[in-house]
Structure 1
Amino acid sequence: MKYIVVLGDGMADYPVDALGKKTPLEYAKKPYIDSLCKKGVTGLVSNVPDNLKPGSDVANLSAMGYDPQIYYSGRSPLEAVSMGVDIKDTDVVFRCNVVTVTDEERYEDKKIIDHSADEITTDEARELIKAVNDAFKNDFLTFYPGVSYRHAMVWANGSTNVELVPPHDILERRIGDYIPKGDGADIIYDMMKKSYDILKDHPVNVDRIKRGLNPANSIWIWGEGRKPRLESFKKLYGLDGAVISAVDLIKGIAICAGLKSIDVDGATGNVNTNFKGKADAALDAFKDGADFVYIHLEAPDECGHRAEIENKVRSIELIDEKIVGYICDNLNKIGEEYRMLILPDHPTPLALRTHTRDAVPFVLYDSTSPKDNKVSSYTEANAKESGIYYDKGYKLLNVFLKK
C-alpha cells in the first residue's frame, strides 16, 4: 500500500462575489478530486489549535501527523534547517521577508503593499540579503538567504519574548500600528527602518522598477522560534517517506522528521510551479521504496494572499489535473494499491488575504475499497454536511494510515 497526501496550501476559502458567490473550490473544474469524493470519505478537520496562530507551520505539522501542542517551536527554525543553517539550542531564529512598502517619509506611515515583492527571484533576493547582512551583522546577529522573498535571521542567545506580526496579515495597513514589542524589539524595528534606505536604491530594485516590478525595498522580521525537535516519522508511523515542496518551511519539517526532502526543478511555490514535475517526483519516490509521500502545493495560498481570484481557481484546477489525476492514473495503470488524502492546511480567503483557523475539507480515498456515496464534489459545504469532523488535525493521519 502506498500513501499520498496532497496538501493544497490555503485552498479553502469563503464565497466570492466574482465567482457567483461560490468558493474557489466550488467554482473550479476538478473532475478527478470530485470523483474521489464519490468513492471516498469526505469531512472536516481542524489543523490549528485554538491557542496557536493559523500559520502554515502549525497547520502542516498537524497535517503531517505531529501534534503542534507538543512539537511546535516556531516557524523560522524549520525554514532555517532547510537552508542548512546550523542552529544552536540558545539561538532564536526569525523569518526575514523582503517586502514592498510605500514611499511615505516616515517609516511608521508606510504600508506594506506586497509581502513577497512580486515573488522576487531567489538570485535577486540573495543580493539584497547580502546587503542587509553586510549592514547589520554583528557578534549576535546574522542574516541567511533563502528562497524568493523568504529568508532567515539568527539571534545568538536571543529571546522569544517578542510580539511580531506576519507581513501578509497587515497588507495595506499603517506600519506604525504594528511596531515590534518585547525583548530586542528596538533593535528589530531599527533594522527594519534602516533597511529601507539600504534597499530602495539598490541596483536590483532599480532594475526591478524599470521592468515594472515591485521593489523589495524593506525587510520585515517575524516568526521567531527555537531549534525544532521532531520525533522521527518512521518511529511514529513505521513508514519511510518523502516530502515534495518548493518552500523551506515544509522542507525543514521533512528534514527534522527524518523524511527525504525532494527538490523539483521549476518548483516555485506559485501558480507557475512545475506541477507535473512534482507528480513525477512522487511516483519516482514510490519506485525508490518510499511508502509515504507528502506533496505540498503552495500556489493557492500565494494567490489568496495576493487576492488573485482567477489564479486561485486555476491553481486548484492544476492540482486536480496534474497532481491528483496524473498520480491516480499512473498508479491505477500499474495496479498499485494506494490511499490518497487531499486537504488544505488552513483557509486563505481571498477577501482577507491572510490565514484563518477554520476547519478545512478533506477527502480520503482507498483504491482497495472504493465507496458509493452521495458526496458529488469536494467543497467546504459538502464536507461540513457529511457530519465527519476531526477536532485535532494530527489524528487524521492515523486514520489515513490505519494506525
Structure 2
Amino acid sequence: MKYIVVLGDGMADQPIPELGDKTPLEYAKTPMMDSLAQLGEIGMVHTIPDGMKPGSDTANLSVLGYNPRKYYSGRSPLEALSIGAPMKDTDIALRCNLVTLSEDEDTYEERTIIDHSSDEISTEDAAILLEAVKRELQTEQYQFYVGTSYRHLLIWDKGEVVDLVQPHDILGQKIGDKLPEDQDLREMMKKSYDILVNHPINVERRKKGLHPANSCWFWGAGTKPSLSSFEEKTGKSGAMISAVDLLKGIAVGASMKVITVEGANGGLHTNYEGKAEAAVKVLTEDGYDFVYVHVEAPDEMGHQGSVEKKVKAIENLDERVIRPIVQGMGDAGEDYRLLVLPDHPTPICIRTHTADNVPYLLYDSRKEEHHTYHYNEKEAAETGILKEEGHKLIDELFS
C-alpha cells in the first residue's frame, strides 16, 4: 500500500460575489477531485491549533502529523534547514522577504507595502539583489542566505525571538507602525531600501512593468528546530515534493527524502506535471511508502487577491497534478490511499491566512463508496465530519 498527500496551499476560501457566492474551490472545474470524492470521504479538519497563528508552517506540520504545540519553534528555522544555513542553539533565524514598497513618500516609515513577493521575483534576480544587501549590511552578527524567489533568510547570532509583522498580512498598509521595535533590524530594513531602490535590476523591472524588489522585510523569527524522524514516527519512508524552502526544511528536519523538480517555482506557472511524475516515480520505482506533494500556487494567488488566478491554480492542481498521479498509480497497478486538502484558507477578500477549518478528501483505490459529493468547503461541511486535531488526520490516511 502506498500513501499520498496532495496539498493545495491556501486553497480554501470564502464565498465570493463575482463567483455567484461560491468559493474558488466550489467554482473551479475539478472533475478529478469530484470523482474521487464520490468514491471516498470528505469532511472538515482543524489544522491550526487554537491560539496559534495561521501559517503554512504550523498547518503543514499538522498535516504531516507533527503537533505544532510540541514541534513548532518558528517558521524561519525550518527554512534554514532547507537552505542549509548553519544554526547554533543560540542563533535566531528570520525570514527576509524581498518586498515592494511605494516610492513617492519622503520617509521610509510613510511608505506602503504593495507586494510581499515583488511579482514573484526569480531566484536568479533575487540572489543578485541580496548580494548587494550582503555587501553593505552583513556582519558576524547578521548573516544573509539566499532562498527561493522572494523568500530569503537572516541568521542573527545570539539574537532573540522578537515579535515581527508578516508582510502578507499588511498589504496596502503604511509600514510605520509595523516595523520592528529592535533598532538594528529596523535600520537594516531602511538601509536595504536605499541599497535596492535604484539597483539596475529594479530599474529594468520597472521598465517591464514589474514590481521592484526594493526592500528587505524581516519576520518569522524562531529558534533551531528539532523534529523527530518521520519514518521512526510513522513506520513509513517518506518523500517531499515542494518548491518552497519551508516544506523542504520540514522534510529535512523529519529526515524525509527531498525531491527537487526542475521548473517548480512556487508560482502559478510551475511544473505541475513534473511534480506528479516525480510523485509516482518515488512510490512505484524508488520504493518509498509515502509522498507529500505541495503546490504553493493557490496561496500565492490568494495573497495577490486574484480570483481568476486562484481558480486557475486550483484547476491546474486537479488536472495537472492529481489526475496524472491517479493515472500513474493505476498504470503501475499499485494500491494507494490519497489525501487531498489545503493547509489553511487564504481568502481573496483579506489576502492573508485564516485559522478556519479546511475541507479534506480521503480516497482509497481499493474501495468505492458511491456518494454524490463534490469536493469543496460547503459540501465537506455538510457531511458533519470534523476532525478537531489536524495532526491526527494522517493516522486515518495510514489506517
For residues 92-111 of structure 1, the aligned pairs below 5 Å read 92-103=92-103, 104-111=105-112
Q: Please list the CA deviations of residues 185-226 of structure 1 after superposition, one character each: whole Å capped at 9, or x if unmatched.
A: 111111111111110011111111121111000110000011
Q: What residue number does 1:155 align with?
A: 156
Compute the displacement of 1:149 (Å): 0.3
Q: What residue number does 2:175 align with?
A: 175
- Amino-acid identity (%): 54
Compute the displacement of 1:323 (Å): 1.1
Once residues 139 and 148 of structure 1 are traced to their aligned partners in structure 2, the CA distance between those partners, rounded to angstroms, is 25
- What amino acid does structure 1 have at the position aligned with 2:133? V
Q: What residue number does 1:61 align with?
A: 61
- Pairing 1:216–2:213 present: yes
Compute the displacement of 1:270 (Å): 1.1
- Specify the SS of the correspondent of 2:311: helix
Q: What residue number does 1:141 align with?
A: 142
- Specify the SS of the correspondent of 2:267: coil
Length, aligned pairs only? 397
Once residues 342 and 42 of structure 1 are traced to their aligned partners in structure 2, the CA distance between those partners, rounded to angstroms, is 9
Once residues 370 and 329 of structure 2 are traced to their aligned partners in structure 1, the CA distance between those partners, rounded to angstroms, is 21
Structure 1 moving runs of 4+ over 6 Å: none
- Specify the SS of the correspondent of 2:188: helix
- Specify the SS of the correspondent of 2:346: coil
1:275 aligned to 272, 276, 301, which one?
272
Q: Please list the CA deviations of residues 237-265 of structure 1 after superposition, one character each: whole Å capped at 9, or x if unmatched.
A: 00111000000000000111010010001
Compute the displacement of 1:179 (Å): 2.2
Once residues 107 and 151 of structure 2 are traced to their aligned partners in structure 1, the CA distance between those partners, rounded to angstroms, is 25
Contact 2:229-2:253 at 8 Å conserved across structures? yes
For residues 236-275 of structure 1, the aligned pairs below 5 Å read 236-275=233-272
Once residues 17 and 349 of structure 2 are traced to their aligned partners in structure 1, the CA distance between those partners, rounded to angstroms, is 10
Query: Tell me, which stretches of 5 or more residues in structure 1 are unaligned?
Result: none
Compute the displacement of 1:394 (Å): 0.5
Once residues 44 and 355 of structure 2 are traced to their aligned partners in structure 1, the CA distance between those partners, rounded to angstroms, is 12
- Specify the SS of the correspondent of 2:277: helix
Q: What residue number does 1:9 align with?
A: 9
- What amino acid does structure 1 have at the position aligned with 2:123? T
Q: What residue number does 1:364 align with?
A: 362
Once residues 60 and 352 of structure 1 are traced to their aligned partners in structure 2, the CA distance between those partners, rounded to angstroms, is 21
- What amino acid does structure 1 have at the position aligned with 2:135? D
Once residues 29 and 200 of structure 2 are traced to their aligned partners in structure 1, the CA distance between those partners, rounded to angstroms, is 43
- What amino acid does structure 2 have at the position aligned with 1:301? D
Q: Please list the CA deviations of residues 293-350 of structure 1 after superposition, one character each: whole Å capped at 9, or x if unmatched.
A: 0000000000000011111111111111111111111212232100000000000001
Once residues 177 and 355 of structure 1 are traced to their aligned partners in structure 2, the CA distance between those partners, rounded to angstroms, is 21
More off after superposition, 207-216 vs 288-297: 207-216
1:378 aligned to 375, 380, 399, which one?
375
Once residues 14 and 156 of structure 2 are traced to their aligned partners in structure 1, the CA distance between those partners, rounded to angstroms, is 39
For residues 44-123 of structure 1, the aligned pairs below 5 Å read 44-103=44-103, 104-123=105-124
Once residues 315 and 63 of structure 2 are traced to their aligned partners in structure 1, the CA distance between those partners, rounded to angstroms, is 22
Q: Please list the CA deviations of residues 140-191 of structure 1 after superposition, one character each: whole Å capped at 9, or x if unmatched.
A: 111111111000000011111x11011000000010121223xxx1111111
Once residues 91 and 271 of structure 1 are traced to their aligned partners in structure 2, the CA distance between those partners, rounded to angstroms, is 34
Once residues 42 and 288 of structure 1 are traced to their aligned partners in structure 2, the CA distance between those partners, rounded to angstroms, is 30
Compute the displacement of 1:137 (Å): 1.3
Contact 2:96-2:218 at 8 Å conserved across structures? yes
- Specify the SS of the correspondent of 1:163: coil
Once residues 120 and 318 of structure 1 are traced to their aligned partners in structure 2, the CA distance between those partners, rounded to angstroms, is 21
More off after superposition, 365-374 vs 349-358: 365-374
Once residues 334 and 249 of structure 1 are traced to their aligned partners in structure 2, the CA distance between those partners, rounded to angstroms, is 31
Once residues 4 and 291 of structure 1 are traced to their aligned partners in structure 2, the CA distance between those partners, rounded to angstroms, is 9
- What amino acid does structure 1 have at the position aligned with 2:282? A
TM-score (norm 2): 0.98
Once residues 267 and 393 of structure 1 are traced to their aligned partners in structure 2, the CA distance between those partners, rounded to angstroms, is 27
- Specify the SS of the correspondent of 1:209: helix
Once residues 344 and 292 of structure 1 are traced to their aligned partners in structure 2, the CA distance between those partners, rounded to angstroms, is 18
Q: Please list the CA deviations of residues 48-92 of structure 1 after superposition, one character each: whole Å capped at 9, or x if unmatched.
A: 111210010000000111000000000001111111111111100
Compute the displacement of 1:15 (Å): 0.7
Compute the displacement of 1:5 (Å): 0.2
Query: Tell me, which stretches of 5 or more residues in structure 2 are unaligned?
Result: none
Q: What residue number does 1:315 align with?
A: 313
- What amino acid does structure 2 have at the position aligned with 1:247? V
